[in-house]
Structure 1
Amino acid sequence: MLQRMTESTTTLALAPGRAAAPATGRPRLAALDGLRFLAAMAVVAYHYVAVNHSAWGARTEDSFPNLQPIAAFGSFGVQLFFVISGFVILMSAWGRDVRSFAASRVGRLFPAYWLSVAAVVLLLVVVAPGHKDVGIPETAANLTMVQRAFGVQDVESVYWTLWAELRFYVLVAVLLALGMTRNRLVAFAAVWPVVAAVAVQSDSTLWSTVLVGTDAPLFAGGMVLFLLTKERRSPVLWLVLGLNVALAGVISGRSQSLRIATSTDVTVGPQTYWIAILACFVLVAAVTLTRLDRLSWRWLTLVGALTYPLYLLHSSWGQWLIAKTSPYLPAGVTFALVTAVMLGAAYLVHRFVERPLGPRLRRAVVRDLERTSRALSRTPRAARRAQAPEPDAVSSR
C-alpha cells in the first residue's frame, strides 16, 4: 500500500512494472473513461458541424444554421482532455520511475499515432491529392511527434494537442527524476501555471513553449484533482485548484475562444468561455471526487479506449467522407454515418494496433532504457580503472 499523501516527505515508491491502477491502490475510473469519450465526441461534432470547411458543399453555417453555435462549444473538449490528462498522467506516474513512465507513454501514444500519420499521408498523397503538400521530410518529422520543435507543420491539424501533451510529460518526468513528494507536487501545481502565464503575457516564445503556455493551468488543475482524491479536506489543495481554474479561465479560455472565432462564425465572449472552462473542472471533479468514481460499467472502459484513435483519425478522413456522401444523403444522416464509420475505424485501431503493439513497444523501451542505464553506470568505473596506475608501476617508484 502507498503511504498517505499527507506525509509530505514521502517520495513515491519506484515500481517499474506496476500498472497505473494498482500503483494508485484503486480500480480504474470507468466514469472518467466515459468522460474522455464524451470529450472526443464533442471535438468530432466541432470539426464536422461547427468548423467552416467545404466538405458539406456549402458553408457549415448554411448546412447547420442552428447547430453550429452549439457544436462550437465542442472545441472545449480539448480543454476537458487536458484536465483529464493532468489527473490521469499523475495517476500513471504514481509509483513509477522515469524509465517506466517514459515507456508507458511511448507504448500508449505511438502505435496509433504512427498509423494515423500513415493514414493521413495516404489520404493527402494518394486518395485526395492537392489539399496539402506533404513530402517525405514532413512525413518523417511527423513520425517523431515533435515536428513542431523543428518548425515542421503537422500533417493533421489535431496533432497540436499532442505537442502540448508531450511537453507536459517531460515536466512530469523531471518531477519523477527529482523525487515526487506531496509538497513538491503542490508547489509545482501552484507555481508552474503562474510562471507559464507570465511567459505567455510577456510574449516569451521559448519559455511559453517549455512551460506549455496557455494549457499549463489545465494540466496542473487535473493534477490537483488527483491529489484531492487522497486529501479531500485539504484547504491548500482547494486553493491551488481555484488558482488554476482562474488562470485557465483567463488564458486558456481566451485562447480557445480565439481558435473558435478563426474557424467558425461563432463568437464566444469572456463570460461564456469562463463557464466552459469551469465546466471542464467540475465534470472531472464529479467523476473522481463523488460516488461516480465507483462506477464499474465495462462499456465505459471500452468507449474510453476508443477516444485516442478516434481523435487521431476523425478530422481529415471524416471530412473526406462527408464530401463524398453529403451530396446523396441528408446532412444529419451523413453526420451520423461518418461518425459511425470513424468509431468503427477507432475500434479496429484499438483492437489490432494498440492492444498488440502497445505492450510490446513499452517492454522494448524499458529494456533499451535499462541497457543504456547500465552502460552509462559502467562507463565511469571503466574510466577510473583506465586512469589508475598499474601495480608494477607503483611498486617500481
Structure 2
Amino acid sequence: MAKNQHILLIDGYRFLAAISVVCFHYFADVNSAQTRFNVLYGKIFEFPHLAFFEYGRFGVDLFFLISGFVIALSAEGRSFSGFLASRVARIVPTYWLAIILTSAVILIFQYQPLSLRQLFANLAFLQRPLGESFIDGVYWTIAIEFRFYLLVAVLILFKVYRFYHWLLLGWVVLCFVDYYGVNIGWIKQLFITSYGYYFSAGGAFYHIYQERHRMLSVMTVVLSFCLAVLVGVDRFKELTDIGVGCVIFVCYGLMWLISSKRFDDIKCNSLVVAGAVTYPLYLLHLKIGNILMKHLTITASGILLNIIIMVGMLLLSWVVSRYFEKSVNPAVRRGLEALLSGLHQSASRLLKPAN
C-alpha cells in the first residue's frame, strides 16, 4: 500500500464510532439521564424507548481498534521523531482547544468549579497521577491513546518495532494474564492491559491487510476478540451478554472488511468530511452538550432538543476541523519533528563512545 493512500472506510468507521458515542450520551446514558434536567422544563431527558443506544458506548472500543490499525500504518518506515511528531500534532492541539472551549463554557454557566491544578493536569494528560478529575468525561480515552502512541514511539526509538507482530500477540497474552487476576504491578499501567487487546487487534488487522504475518495476526485477532467479549460481559452487567457479544463481533467484523481490501476503491468525499469532524465532535459533545441541555429552553421535547444540540456540535466540529486543524496541526507537526530530530541527534552524539 502506498504510504500516502487514504483508506476511506476508516473515515466512515471513525464517524460511526463517534456518532454512536454521542447517541449513547445524549439518548441512553441512564446514569446521566436521571440527573439531567432543563432549567425550564425539568426532567425531559429520560428516553426508555431508546435504550438500544446503550450499545453506542462500544464506539470507544471501535475507536481503539481503528487506532491500532492506523498507528501500525503510521509507524511503518517512520523515524522516532517523525512518528511522535505526527501523533502529537494529530491529537494535542485539538485536545487543548477542546479543553479551553469546554472550560470557558463551564465558567460562563458556573457549571462546576475549576482549578488551575485541574486544568494543568488535563492539559498534560496527568489527571490520574495528580489525582485530578477529567474536565470532560471523554478525556480518559485520549489519555489512553497518548500512552499507546508513546509505547509505539519507544519501540521505534529502540529499533524493536520490526518485531511488532510478535509484540502484539504478547500484548494480548499479557492482557489475558491481567484479566485472570495475576498481579503484574506497574506493568498493568505501562501496557494499558485494560484496553491493550484492542490496539493489538487493530495492529494485527493492519498486518493482515498488508498480507504479512497472516497466521500470527489471525491468532492475535481471535485471542483479542475472545478477551474483548469476556471483559465486555463483565464490565457492562446492565447489558445482555448476547448483545455485548454481537456488538463486539460487529466491531471486529468491520475491521476485517478493511483487511479484506474489498472496499479499497470506494469513492466518497462525504466520508472524508465525516472522518475529519470525528475527533472534535468526540471531544466537544459531552460536557458542553450537558450544559446546553440544562440551559437551552427552545423546546420542551428532550429528544428534539438533543437533536438540535447534536447538529450544533457537528457544525462546531466542522469549523474546528476546517479552520483550526488544517492550519495548526501541520505547523505543529513540522516544528515538533524538527525539535525532536535535533534532540535525538544531540543525544546520539553525546552517547556515542569517543574514539
What is the TM-score with the length of structure 1 in the denominator? 0.81
- Alignment of 1:285 with 2:263, yes or no, is no
Match of 1:109 in 2: 91
CA distance in 1, matches of 2:183, 2:324: 41
Greater C-alpha Rg: 1
Match of 1:343 in 2: 314
Match of 2:228 in 1: 248
> Which of 78, 101, 117 is the equivalent residue of 1:119?
101
Which moves more between the two structures, 281-290 or 219-228?
Answer: 281-290
In the TM superposition, 1:248-267 aligns within 5 A as: 248-255=228-235, 257=236, 267=238
- On the 8 A contact 2:209/2:258 being kept in 1, the answer is no
> Which of 33, 40, 47 is the equivalent residue of 1:64?
47
Match of 2:274 in 1: 303
User: Which residue identity does 2:294 align to in structure 1?
Assistant: A
CA distance in 1, matches of 2:325, 2:126: 20
CA RMSD of aligned residues (A): 2.3
Match of 1:44 in 2: 22
For structure 2, which runs of at least 5 residues remain unmatched after alignment? none
- On the 8 A contact 2:174/2:193 being kept in 1, the answer is no
SS at match of 1:293: coil
Query: Between the two proteins, what is the percent identity of the paired residues?
Result: 29
CA distance in 1, matches of 2:234, 2:261: 29
Match of 2:77 in 1: 95
**TM-superposed deviation, 1:181:** 6.0
Deviations 1:77-112 (A, max 9, x none): 000100011001111111101111100011101111
CA 1:32–1:377: 2 relative to 1, 3 Å: closer
Match of 1:16 in 2: none
- On the 8 A contact 1:46/1:75 being kept in 2, the answer is yes
SS at match of 1:149: coil
**TM-superposed deviation, 1:149:** 3.1
User: Which residue identity does 1:196 align to in structure 2?
Assistant: C
Deviations 1:29-79 (A, max 9, x none): 11110111011000000111112331453274xx31200x21100000000
Match of 2:109 in 1: 128
User: Which residue identity does 1:35 align to in structure 2?
Assistant: Y
User: Which residue identity does 2:52 align to in structure 1?
Assistant: I
> Which of 204, 213, 220 is the equivalent residue of 1:224?
204
CA distance in 2, matches of 1:95, 1:379: 25
Match of 1:14 in 2: none
> Which of 133, 141, 148 is the equivalent residue of 1:168?
148
- Alignment of 1:360 with 2:340, yes or no, is no
SS at match of 2:114: coil
Which moves more between the two structures, 310-319 or 324-333?
Answer: 324-333
- On the 8 A contact 2:281/2:314 being kept in 1, the answer is yes
- On the 8 A contact 1:253/1:277 being kept in 2, the answer is no
- On the 8 A contact 1:102/1:173 being kept in 2, the answer is yes
* Runs of 4+ deviating beyond 6 Å: none
User: Which residue identity does 1:65 align to in structure 2?
Assistant: P
Match of 1:206 in 2: 186
- Alignment of 1:86 with 2:68, yes or no, is yes
User: Which residue identity does 1:128 align to in structure 2?
Assistant: F
User: Which residue identity does 1:90 align to in structure 2?
Assistant: A
Match of 1:177 in 2: 157
> Which of 275, 278, 293 is the equivalent residue of 2:246?
275
CA distance in 1, matches of 2:93, 2:213: 40
SS at match of 2:194: helix
CA 1:380–1:220: 2 relative to 1, 3 Å: closer
SS at match of 2:48: coil
**TM-superposed deviation, 1:233:** 9.0
CA distance in 2, matches of 1:172, 1:233: 19
User: Which residue identity does 1:96 align to in structure 2?
Assistant: R
- On the 8 A contact 1:197/1:251 being kept in 2, the answer is no
CA distance in 1, matches of 2:49, 2:322: 37
CA 1:345–1:232: 2 relative to 1, 3 Å: same
**TM-superposed deviation, 1:236:** 3.0
CA distance in 2, matches of 1:374, 1:117: 34
Match of 2:296 in 1: 325
- On the 8 A contact 1:214/1:248 being kept in 2, the answer is no
- On the 8 A contact 1:99/1:369 being kept in 2, the answer is yes
Match of 2:172 in 1: 193
User: Which residue identity does 1:39 align to in structure 2?
Assistant: A
Deviations 1:6-46 (A, max 9, x none): xxxxxxxxxxxxxxx842xx621111101110110000001
